[in-house]
A and B are shown apart, each in its own frame.
Chain A
Amino acid sequence: MEKINKKRYWKSLEEFVDPEKFNEQAEKEFMRSPLQEDAADPVARRDFLKLMGASLALASTACVRRPTQRIVPYSERPHDVIPGKANFYASSAFDNGEFFSTIVRTREGRPISMQGNSAFPLNRSALSARMHAHVVSLYDPDRLKKPRIRVEKDKDFHQRNWNDVTYEKMDESLTKVIDGAKLGMLLASNPSPSRAGVVSDFAKTFSAQVYYDDSINHSEVRRGQELSYGDEVFPQYRFDKAKYIISLGADFLGTYANPTANAVSFAKTRQPGPDMSRLVVFEALMSLTGANADYRIRVKNSDLVKVAMGLAHEIVVKEGHSNYANSDLVKSKLKEFANVAAELNIEKELFSQIAKDIWEQRGKSLVVAGGINAKTEDALALQISCNFLNTILENDGKTVDYQNSLQAFQGSDADVARLIADIESGKIDTLLVSGVNPVYQHPENKKLLQALKKVTLIYSTMYMDETAEMADYILAESHPLEEWGDAEYLPGMYNIQQPTIRPIGDTRSIGFNLMTWAYFLEKGPARLNELESWYDYVRWTWKNRLNALSGDFERSWVALLQAGFVDTKESQRERDFTARRFRMDALSQVKKSNTKSSNYELSLYQKSAIGDGAMANMPWLQEMPDPVTKNTWENYLTISYATAKKEKLKDGDIVSLEVDGKKLKVPVFVQIGQEDSTLGLAVGYGHSWGKVAKGLGVNAWNLAKMTRDEMVTAALPASFTKTGEKTQIANTQGHHHMEGRSIVVEATLKDYLKNPASGIHKHKIFSIWPKHEYKGHKWGMTIDQNACIGCSACVVACQSENNIPVVGKKYVLEGREMQWMRIDRYYSGSALHDDIPKDPEVYFQPMLCQHCDNAPCESVCPVLATTHSPEGINEMTYNRCVGTRYCSNNCPYKVRRFNWFAYTKGDRDIDTPKEAYNPSVTVRSRGVMEKCTFCVHRIEEVKAEHKVQGTSYEDGDVVTACEAACPTDAIVFGDVNDPNSRVSKMQAKKNAYKVLEEWHAQPAVKYLTKIRNKDSISTGHGGDH
């Protein structure tokens, strides 16, 4: 009533007609009226006033003198830090089962790169590509800087500090959860004794159950050993002792077990000569190991057991060799494998020959099987038959070193199954996860995902990854370069991991967390409560062990830190052990499976750069061309050439892949040399997190299958349909055939023994000009293509050393990748004429600036930006370069790289963090040309050092980044003017040649021919003209 009688005032017709709408519009047009704000949220205005009042009060009360903060000039520098001079620390690193003793180079307190510890027998100075990117992961902007807590279920996380004052302390919240909980711990296995110590202390104290799950479990190896011989070990394969190696699907040079150390030991037997070993690989996908095989035989992954047993049949039954020749049990077991060669379409003579040869080499041969690409339902049977073969061949204890076994790969799918069961049965209600990312790695395991939802999940991690999204507490974990650690990877081989930087964020190691919680709850053994830091715990762990060595702990400790490792059982490393008795009942596990599966079988595999995908956020690794496919930035379904032809598929066609009702859309890539009915898909992609990793490729783990609580990743029955969609796969090498050109020169061992220069086409070259004269040093390099396995660690090492930018998928597609060092990969056979061979041979050729004496690039640069040094280095003056790119056009090797854009501004997600740059090397701006410098900064550093010390240069003083990174010593750098240097001696070899020698650019890099240990005569031609 009141309203009606009220007199209305209005300002416009709109207001008169519809005052409500008018008000609404007026509100929108201008700022919201505070009155209305109040009406909507009566608290807001009062809150504002309260906060204002409070801050005013605080401001007035806090009006005291500023707290004293002392700054220290760098002239009073920390002890042993000299600006501009690198410090080196011995350390170690563990990555996905692979172990490295490392030397970390720091500059002004920042770790900037790593290389292997050359004194360490396993990896020596080599590191894997992933390890070179380890330093970047330290500075990864995506890393968690603070712990997080989920205050309410299904709500967002709150970021906390470890020592928060405003909120309840993180540790207090956690100890409340832990105290009295039914605790479980899901951990990645780790060779660290301190870690094992603190975990077992903690587990005992809180009666926690411990489960081990490695991202990639090789539990079938341990189980196979246990069933075959009674002890559950992961043997060390001694490739250096083997003269005849058979791999049954094991990519031991690329991804299986401890690949870098494997490559080191494999290379020792590959020197061309009468003692050169032979490598025979049976595999379905084209792996790095297969690419290096002398004989590579394509078989399905589901047929690998048959191959092993077939070989056993050849040796034991057909030839009547070995102790088992008279065993009826064995004979009857092997009978069904009598016709394996025929069944698998393997050349019969070749198969028999392999069996004969390997028997000849008994005790000096080695059969290896395994890896996720061979983890079929018969994986255990494969291990047992492989063990059986090794026993027949008397390799056990010799090339299969079960005493110096690898203290890794304890994780198993069985543990995961046990964990699920324990959660389901209520035995576990709180779970601490560290080192694994189970949600990412087990998407197929629905039971696990459901189980994880039932528990309070505490997750120690460096990234906000898939598992973190499900967690209730996220413990920001320190990077291994920030924390103390240790390892006993081989029994009695003590390694230490020194931190080289203080934790950058508010992060902790898992070990310290366990100690802290025990301390807060005042439980557990005294060491957990009394020791102040993780460092103290590590030292406590080593006290007894080191005291046992010398009695003087402090001295031994410092010695351990300096050297990085102590080998207490050195005498045990090289000796042979007695063969273990093979338990015949293990053979009952081996059955000849005759299940004819569908047309195609899918095998998951690892790429050597990405591995399990834990480091997928590292742009260096994403852009490292895969050694075999030369693809970057994603995963794809590899299919054989015949399959592609049959299904009318081309590179980049997207197919819908179906395995067991689960579908994935994925582009195909035609991989020459792949078995026709096998499909391959790399794991480690399809992450939901990370500025770099997110959205790259698909998560192949989705397609794995759980069979009897074991994850099956190979020989999965699969089918695919074309979707008609297309994408482009970022390949760095579009052409794979040498076109009859003499680029990688090869010869078989047979020919090489007759004539070491076999295959080299010599040209009679004359010049009217005198040769260049080099007084003093003349730097040169030799690359042994026979040793090179193509692993591409040097590519990433070079990237790390020389601040080489990453360009991203889009620009790789445009052919603009920047790596100075590249590994050219060729297949034999002619691709131009459409007769792509089913069994191509693969050739790797590391290609970098050849530092030509008659450098074609130098004469054409209009501004003299690229010149020749008196020591034979082709130098690039970035400041002077205007970017005509004429030099690149005139380079026969096309090893120069142009900065098409400003790659180093640091504003892209894929840019290398500035902290990881090497301060010794200029960062290039856009528009300039760049290329390999022969690590000239290292040369100059060494020369300066010699000048200061008054000493003179000795061979080996300068080690280039690629040379250090090479596990097989394929790259040798040095002074060619010194006739006794390693490089001179190698260049003088008869099998040394220059690529494109006839072009007379006179490169400073010489290549040694690729030798394949084959019985046939090479197809390559020799002679000269």
Chain B
Amino acid sequence: MIKRNILIEGDKTYKDISDDICQPLESFPGIKWFQLFGLAITVLLFYVCVLGYIAWTGMGTMGVNHPIGWGTDIVTFVFWIGIGHAGTLISAILFLFRQKWRTGIARAAEAMTVFAVMTAGIFPLMHTGRPWLAYWLLPYPNQRGPLWVNFRSPLLWDVFAVSTYATVSAVFWYVGMIPDLATVRDRAKTNLRRVIYGMFSMGWRGTNRNWSHYEMVYLILAGLSTPLVLSVHTIVSFDFAVATLPGWHTTIFPPYFVAGAIFSGFAMVVTLMVLVREGFPQIKSYITLDHFEVMNKIIMTTGLMVGYAYASEFFIAWYSGVHYEQFAFLNRATGPLAWSYWIMVSCNVLSPQIFWIKKFRRSIPVMFVVSIFVNIGMWFERFVITVTSLHRDFLPVNWSDFTFKFADWGVLIGSFGMFFTLFLLFLRVIPMVSMSEVKPCYEVGRKGGHHG
């Protein structure tokens, strides 16, 4: 039998583990946290202002034009939805596959998922011409006829896919944290804390019945989430694949999008975990270099998968014999927006190749830089798909260029403000590592551990 590496470093008791993980919740934040939080919330406020400006003045404030009907909003939406894939993948799919290493990063990754989906959800609303009427996309009984939505439209499927995913991943995340919230409640030194955490831990007592029900619910939710991880980005890809536009109308999109989503999701987890380890050094025992190595392997693998997808798109375009299709792809690589294509290729396909070397796979600075590159590359992947396909399509008279305007930068940067505000709050109010899950794994890789 292969000897397993230990999952939790250092010589710790269960109390040490609880102390380590609850420390951020139970101590007053330091100046650095406040600085970061101050920055994040300022950007968030800026974001709110930009969104208000767009809604008040009109979509014309953004770079979208005729014929490029979708721009930064949709690109950034798909970007954040993609980020939101890693968390549920780690906590649900890896749970089903009994991958114990997932326990250290699952909670934070899931938090990232929930926040990323929340961030993403704003964009489809805000990109409409009349965002105050965006609720018309929901099929609900109404007095307009009743007038129903168009079930043939992929945009509607998108509404269902994203909202289902948001709900299930939030529930899954919350259910998983109930035992931990109870631990925080039990450790609470003030009444207020006890009441708040007591409410959210829903009367958890840690009894056998509690555990038995909990494990069952968690398993079921994991089972439910698993297909959603695959379906949500599949359906997001339908927004493009079902359209008739060359460059969009591609059958490879569902697996290609899912692979890309996992790719960018893991990259974001790496980015965040590197930062979390810097901020909370005790967490280094739980989120170890081994974790990073595994994630970097996944990044490299999915990076190769998207690279394969890029190549096969070109092959199919040539093989199809359709002039418009061929032109669309040639234009991506050589047209006026080719810079975005080559940013995408170098960030997504070339930069992860460095992980073939073990030394770099385990190097924090290297992986941090690569993970940022991957996130940049994945934003541009969506940009390439959305904008470069639209900017030169069938009739050459329609061809135009895309320019980023203030509102484009505003929503892109602002959305990070929203995400980081939420994430920084998360670090201070919810145990960032699942105590109830890491404690049973303490023995893994150690002498006397029954798994050897």
The interface of chain A, by Cβ under 8 A from chain B, is 733-741, 743, 811, 814-817, 822, 824-826, 847, 856, 859-864, 880-886, 888-890, 892-894, 897-902, 925-929, 995-996, 999, 1001
Contact = CB atoms under 8 A, between A and B. Distances in A.
Interface string B323-337: 110010000000000
B395 A743 contact: yes
Contact of B156 (A814, A862, A902): A862
Contacts of B147: 864, 880
Contact of B66 (A736, A740, A897): A897
A888 B66 contact: yes
17 contacts: A735-B399, A739-B396, A815-B400, A859-B152, A863-B149, A864-B147, A881-B129, A881-B130, A882-B137, A883-B59, A888-B66, A889-B67, A890-B244, A893-B394, A894-B66, A898-B129, A899-B129
A574 to B, nearest CB: 41
Interface of B: 57-60, 64-70, 127-130, 133-134, 136-137, 147-150, 152-156, 159, 239, 242-245, 323-324, 327, 390, 392-401, 403
B152 A863 contact: no
B149 A885 contact: no
Contact of B130 (A741, A894, A927): A927
A811 B65 CA distance: 9
Contact of B58 (A825, A901, A996): A901
Contacts of A882: 128-130, 133-134, 136-137
A901 B60 contact: yes
Contacts of B400: 734, 815
A863 B148 CA distance: 7
B232 to A, nearest CB: 17
A860 B242 contact: yes
Given A735-B397, A886-B239, A900-B59, 12 more contacts: A735-B392, A743-B395, A814-B403, A861-B153, A863-B136, A880-B136, A881-B130, A883-B129, A889-B67, A889-B69, A900-B64, A901-B58
Most buried by B among A736, A880, A889: A889
A900 B64 CA distance: 9
A98 B246 CA distance: 47
Contacts of B137: 862-863, 882
A892 B149 CA distance: 24
A901 B53 CA distance: 12
Most chain A CB within a 10 A radius of its CB, from B149, B153, B159: B153
Nearest to A925: B130
Contacts of B68: 815
Nearest to A856: B244
A888 B153 contact: no
A559 to B, nearest CB: 47
Contact of A736 (B58, B69, B239, B396): B396
Per CB-CB distance, the 7 closest pairs between chain A and chain B, nearest first, are A883-B129, A927-B129, A900-B60, A885-B69, A927-B130, A815-B65, A862-B155
Nearest to B324: A741
Nearest to A823: B397
Nearest to B397: A824
B243 A816 contact: no
A929 B128 CA distance: 11
B271 to A, nearest CB: 32
Contacts of A733: 397
A898 B69 contact: yes
A847 B58 contact: no
Contacts of A996: 394-395
Contact of B394 (A741, A825, A886): A741
A847 B129 CA distance: 25
A126 B64 CA distance: 36
A901 B62 CA distance: 11
Contacts of B136: 863, 880, 882
A901 B54 CA distance: 10
A885 B64 contact: yes
Contacts of B152: 859-860
A887 to B, nearest CB: 8
Contacts of A825: 397
A906 to B, nearest CB: 16
Contact of B150 (A826, A862, A928): A862
A682 B153 CA distance: 48
A889 B390 contact: yes
Nearest to A902: B58
A883 B73 CA distance: 13
A894 B60 contact: no
B244 A886 contact: no
A42 B129 CA distance: 61
A862 B69 CA distance: 15
Contacts of A740: 323
A59 B323 CA distance: 83
B81 to A, nearest CB: 16
A882 B69 CA distance: 14
Given A737-B396, A885-B69, A892-B393, A926 B129 contact: yes
A888 B391 CA distance: 12
B244 A824 contact: no
A927 B149 contact: no
A995 B67 CA distance: 18
Given A738-B396, A862-B149, A889 B65 contact: no
Given A741-B323, A814-B65, A894 B58 contact: no
A850 to B, nearest CB: 11
A198 to B, nearest CB: 50
Contact of A847 (B66, B154, B397): B397
A824 B395 contact: yes
B360 to A, nearest CB: 41
Contacts of B323: 740-741
Given A883-B130, A927-B130, A999-B244, A815 B66 contact: yes
Contacts of A741: 323-324, 394-396
Contact of B395 (A884, A894, A897): A894
A926 B69 contact: no
A816 B66 contact: yes
Contact of A927 (B58, B393, B394): B58
Contacts of A898: 59, 66, 69, 129
A884 B397 contact: no
Contacts of A737: 396
Contacts of B392: 735
B245 to A, nearest CB: 6
A894 B127 CA distance: 19
Nearest to A893: B395
B210 to A, nearest CB: 43
A857 to B, nearest CB: 10
Given A816-B66, A901-B60, A890 B245 contact: yes
B393 A894 contact: yes
A208 B313 CA distance: 81
B12 to A, nearest CB: 53
A881 B137 CA distance: 10
Contact of A826 (B57, B244, B396): B396
A131 to B, nearest CB: 26
B60 A859 contact: no
A927 B128 contact: yes
A860 B153 contact: yes
Nearest to B68: A815
Contacts of B395: 741, 743, 824, 847, 892-894, 995-996
Contacts of A880: 136, 147
Contact of A885 (B129, B148, B403): B129
Contacts of B394: 741, 892-894, 996, 999
B33 to A, nearest CB: 40
Nearest to A831: B396
A888 B155 contact: no
Contacts of B401: 734
B300 to A, nearest CB: 34
Most interface-central of B66, B68, B154 (chain A CB within 10 A): B66
B158 to A, nearest CB: 8
Contacts of A925: 130
A805 B258 CA distance: 43
